[in-house]
Amino acid sequence: MLNISKNNLPNSAYPKSLKAMNSNRLPSWHWTFRTLMGVLMVIVIIFLLLPWTQNVRADGRVTTLRPEQRPQTVHATIAGRIERWYVVEGQAVKRGDTLVFLSEVKSDYFDPSLVARVGDQVVAKKGSITSYGQKADALLDQIAAMKRELDSKMNQIWNKIEQAKLKIESDSIKVVQTDIDLQVAKRQFEGIKTLYDKGLEPLTKFEERRLKLQDAETKRIAALNQLASSKNELAIYQTELRLVQNETANKIAKAESDRFSTLSDRFDAQATVSKLQIERENYALRQNFYYILAPQDGFIVQAIKPGVGEIIKEGEPLLSIQPADYQLAVEMYVKPLDLPLIQKNSKVRFLFDGWPAFFFSGWPGVSLGTFGGQVVAIDRNISANGKFRVLIAPDPNDQPWPTALMPGGGAKGIALLNDVPLWYELWRIVNGFPPDLYQNVQGNSTKEKEAKK
C-alpha cells in the first residue's frame, strides 16, 4: 500500500466480503454528484456557445409620429373674459366646433357698432378723395384757362407792339420830312434875307419866309415829339407784355401749387382710407376671435382656465386637445455613450406599460409581448435631461402595436445590435468593452474572411 515492498499482494487479500472493506467504499451519491457536475459543465459550455444579441436599453414614452398629431394647447388670440364653455373634458370635437365664448375687456372695442362706424368713416374719406380729385381737375382746367388767357393777351399786346413799331417808322419818316422841310425853309429864309438886306425884296416877303421857317421848326419838333411818344408806347407795350407774362405765370404757379397740395391731400386721404379699411377688417376679425374654435378633430384633454368670468390675457392657454387621428411612435432618451450604436432604421423592441410581456434581453426571438420598432429620427442636440432623443415608429414588418396604447404612456426600449456568442458578451462586459468594439472586430474579421476566399 505504501510501496515499501516490491511484492504485490493478490486481489484476494482484499476480499469484497469483508465488512471493513465494504464500509470504507465511496457512497453511491458521490458518483451521482460527479456525473451531475459533468452534465452541468457540458450544459454551461453549450450555454456559453449560444448566440447572444447585444442591445442598448433606454426608457421612453409613447408619443405621435408627426408634430401636428401630438397634444396641443389652444390659446386665446385676444384678451377677454370667459363667458361660456361649450365643451367638457373628454368630449370629442370636430374641427371648427365652438369651444369657448369670450367677451371684450378693452374699452377701445366696447362699441357694438364699431365695424359699421369705421365703415362710415371709410365712406366719408372716399367722398373726400372724390372731392380732392374734382378740385385738382378744376385747378387743372383753371391753369389751362389762364394759359389761354395769357396767349390771348400776349397776342393783343404783340399787335399793339407791331402797331407801335409801324407808328415809330411812320413818325421817323415824318421827322425826316420835317428835316428836309426845315432845311428848305432855312435856305429860302437865307436867300430872302440876303435879298432883303440888299433891298431887293420887301419886308413882307422876308417876314413870310421867317414864319415858314418857324413853322418848319415847329413841325420838326412836333414830329420828334411824336416819334418819342411812339417809342414810349412801344416800351410801355413791351413792359405790359412782361407784366402780363409774370402775373399770369404767378397765377399759374399758385394754381399748380394748389393742385399739387390737393393731390397730396388726396393721397393722404387714400392712405387714411387704407388704414381705416385695415382697422375695419381687424375689428371684424377680432369679433370672430370671441369664439374659440377647435383647430382639428380630437378630444378635450384638460381645461386650463375653467372659471366663467375669468379674465385671460392675449395668448394665454385655455385648454389642451388631443388629435383624434394620429400615428403612434415612441420617443426614447439614449445616453451619449450609447448614441453612436444607434443608427437610422435600427431595430428596437418595446415593452409597453400595462401590457404583459416575457422578455429575454439576449434572445428577442423567444420573447413574448414585445413589439418591434424602427428608428426614424435622432436629435442633433442633447435634451435638457442630458440624453439624446430618438424617435421610433412601428416596424411595418412586425406585428402592429396594441390599439389600447395612448400617447403619454411609458415604454422600455431595447435597441438590438449584432449577434455574438454568450461567452464573448460576458468577456466584453468583464473587460468593459463597448458593444461597437465587437461590431468593428466582427466586421474586420468578416472582411478578412471574404478577402481570403
Q: Are residues 273 and 390 in the same domain?
A: no
Rounded to whole angstroms, the Cα distance separating 453 from 447 reads 10
Give me the domain span that covers residue 296. Answer: 71-104+290-322
Q: What CATH number is attached to the domain comprising 90?
A: 2.40.50.100
Contact indicator for 108, 252 with CB cutoff of 8 Å = no
Q: Are residues 63 and 122 in the same domain?
A: no
- Kindly indicate the confidence band of residue 110, based on its pLDDT and cuts at 50, 70 and 90: confident
Q: Are residues 155 and 239 in the same domain?
A: yes
Q: Are residues 272 and 342 in the same domain?
A: no
Q: What CATH number is attached to the domain comprising 422?
A: 2.40.30.170
143 found inside a domain: yes
281 found inside a domain: yes
Q: Are residues 215 and 298 in the same domain?
A: no
Q: Are residues 131 and 93 in the same domain?
A: no
419 found inside a domain: yes
Which residue among 266, 288, 310 closes a domain? Answer: 288
9 found inside a domain: no
Q: Is residue 53's pLDDT more than 80?
A: no
pLDDT tens digits for range 290-344: 999 999 999 998 888 877 888 888 889 999 998 888 888 999 898 887 787 788 8
Q: Are residues 331 and 295 in the same domain?
A: no
Which residue among 234, 263, 288 closes a domain? Answer: 288
Instruction: Give the mean pLDDT of 139-149.
Output: 90
Q: Are residues 270 and 132 in the same domain?
A: yes
Q: Are residues 273 and 296 in the same domain?
A: no
Q: Are residues 88 and 132 in the same domain?
A: no
Question: What per-residue confidence (pLDDT) applies to 440?
Answer: 42
Q: What CATH number is attached to the domain comprising 227?
A: 1.10.287.2610
294 found inside a domain: yes
Identify the CA nearest to 289 among candidates 118, 74, 90.
74
331 found inside a domain: yes
Q: Is residue 263's pLDDT more than 80?
A: yes
With a CB cutoff of 8 Å and minimum separation 6, the contacts of 316 are 75, 76, 305
DSSP state of 11: G
- Kindly indicate the confidence band of residue 77, based on its pLDDT and cuts at 50, 70 and 90: confident
- 3 phi, psi to nearest 5 deg: 55, 35
Question: What per-residue confidence (pLDDT) applies to 97?
Answer: 92
Question: What per-residue confidence (pLDDT) applies to 41?
Answer: 84
- Kindly indicate the confidence band of residue 287, based on its pLDDT and cuts at 50, 70 and 90: confident
Q: Is residue 432's pLDDT more than 80?
A: no
Q: Are residues 263 and 334 in the same domain?
A: no
343 found inside a domain: yes
Question: What per-residue confidence (pLDDT) applies to 437?
Answer: 41
Q: Is residue 423's pLDDT more than 90?
A: no
- Kindly indicate the confidence band of residue 71, based on its pLDDT and cuts at 50, 70 and 90: confident
196 found inside a domain: yes
Q: Are residues 84 and 161 in the same domain?
A: no
Specify the number of domains making up the chain: 3
Helix, strand, coil % (nearest 5) of the chain? 55, 20, 25
Q: Which residue has the cell 381687424?
A: 282
User: Cell digits for 333?
Assistant: 432618451
Rounded to whole angstroms, the Cα distance separating 311 from 298 reads 26
Instruction: Give the mean pLDDT of 213-236.
Output: 86
- 368 phi, psi to nearest 5 deg: -125, 150
Q: Which amino acid, 169? A: E
Q: Is residue 280's pLDDT more than 50?
A: yes
Instruction: Give the mean pLDDT of 119-147.
Output: 89
